[in-house]
Chain A
Amino acid sequence: MFVLSGYEYFLGFLIISSLVPVVALGASKLLRPASAGPASRTTYESGCEPIGGAWIQFNIRYYMFALVFVIFDVETVFLYPWAVAFHKLGLLGFVEALIFIAILVVGLVYAWRKGALEWS
């Protein structure tokens, strides 16, 4: 139970902060005028007639970045417990983290050399 103490505040604050968009949109719903007709609901494309939709297949280019991100994000999650307990681990903990990070740096260098971090 010690680990979960204080989380009733989290739940309460989640509810209270969820009320922010609800209250803002609710107040606006009561006060705003009705929509200005079908012409206002067309897609904006710099004043021209929109050509085609946006839900098409295209090269989003960020896919490789997203994959590399997952690897490094998991790495940081693993490093957090290490950082909190580091004062008890001493030199051995330092060496272990060094090896762990070195393996991931090899991965980063590989992705870099393979061109996964290139825009073109």
Chain B
Amino acid sequence: MNPGIDLQGSFVRALIDLGLPSGVAKTVWLPLPMLLMLVVATVSIFICVWLERKISAGAQQRIGPEYVGPIGALQAVADGVKLIFKADITPAKSDPWLFAIGPAIVVIPVFLSFLIVPFGQNLVITDLGIGIFLWIALSSIAPIGFLMAGYSSNNKYSLLGGLRAAAQSISYEIPLALSVLAVVLMTNGLSTIDIVNQQSGYGFLGWNIWRQPVGFVIFWISALAECERLPFDLPEAEEELVAGYQTEYTGMKFGLFYVGSYVNLMLSALIVSVLYLGGWSFPIPVETITGLLGVSESAPVVQLLSASLGIVMTLIKAYLLVFLTILLRWTVPRVRIDQLLDLGWKFLLPVSLVNLLLTAGLKLTFPFAFGG
């Protein structure tokens, strides 16, 4: 396996060469990837919002944003600035503490989940042993924030929206976790790096989507429901509940919910590309390309090029999924709440259990193809 570029090692060594003690050098390195990841996540909000507006406009034969920046690309920045300048209204009958904490509880775990999203062999903040499990654990914190926001508003729409959001999240949590479990079964580990490495080697033929087609569909549906995207946007169904748990929110507190939902969309797309679409690995293996070109795979230029293209590859896969989500929004009508719960409990849950046992059985029968 290609060892990749060790950015951390080179950075720390460069600082030690400058005369810093190694402890200090490591501490200086510590916040850098985190801040970078935060910037990546924030920029992805702007891209996602712009894509959403432009693609929605295209689907409805409109032009969409075009005045703010080139082809309207800065529209989301303008929206953010507007939200910062908005008056902050806390309803008189609300519980002010829970009302203020609610959006923070929703947004923090979403950003925190970027801890385990890999963009390359060493391009991850930290390769934790529990890896993907951390994401599952963190994703179950958001419903608490929805409940807090809905309950503390002391508004009927908010309360119903908050309860719906929590019920929806917990119903789709289990199919989600079970389909991840099938991937973990093939990887023999939880680390996101291992999950991608297990898929690389045969180009796009080695990706998990071929070995886990059912798991992929279940995961995709559940991830849409967890993100509260159409057709599963019941908690904020505007015809029924005004804006659900966000009804009483204004200004930056509303902005935090908005940020949370778009970062969550991007995060889910990244996780899908890591779990099922081979993460940073190329559709054609690097070994084959270098073999055809007659260059050594371990040459520094090739390593640098393949690492940079790996980041691009991850992002292309993720944005392709974001594009699909937005198209889906204008294609499928919203489901009813009882249909939503039926789909989760009576269809996805049994199917994901069968998928898990099938994977285990296939792994016993064909250990080579299913990760030995």
Contacts and interface: CB of A to CB of B under 8 A. Distances in A.
Interface of A: 3, 6-10, 12-14, 16-18, 20-21, 24-25, 27-29, 31-36, 38, 40-46, 50, 53-55, 60, 62, 65-66, 68-69, 72-73, 76, 79-80, 83-84, 86-87, 90-91, 94, 97-98, 101, 105, 108, 112, 117, 119-120
Contacts of A84: 184, 188-190
Given A32-B252, A66-B170, 19 more contacts: A10-B134, A13-B114, A21-B104, A21-B107, A25-B100, A25-B252, A41-B89, A42-B91, A43-B91, A43-B93, A55-B154, A66-B167, A73-B170, A83-B181, A83-B185, A84-B188, A87-B363, A108-B350, A117-B341
A80 B133 contact: yes
A73 B174 contact: yes
B184 A83 contact: yes
B170 A69 contact: yes
Contacts, number: 202
Contact of B92 (A27, A41, A55, A76): A41
Interface residues of B, number: 85
Contact of A13 (B125, B140, B255): B125
Given A62-B163, A83-B184, A54 B86 contact: no
- Interface SS of A by simple majority: helix
Contacts of B37: 13
A40 B129 CA distance: 50
21 contacts: A13-B114, A20-B259, A21-B107, A31-B85, A32-B87, A32-B88, A32-B251, A35-B88, A35-B90, A43-B154, A43-B248, A45-B157, A46-B242, A50-B155, A54-B156, A66-B170, A76-B181, A79-B356, A83-B185, A86-B360, A91-B364
Nearest to A18: B108
Contacts of B93: 43, 53
- The winner among A9, A33, A79 for most chain B CB atoms within 10 A is A9
- Interface SS of B by simple majority: helix
Nearest to A29: B88
Interface stretch (B28-36, B61-69, B205-213): B28-36
B200 interface: no
Contact of A9 (B126, B181, B188, B190): B126
- The winner among B166, B173, B251, B345 for most chain A CB atoms within 10 A is B345
Interface in B94-113: 100, 103-104, 107-108, 111-112
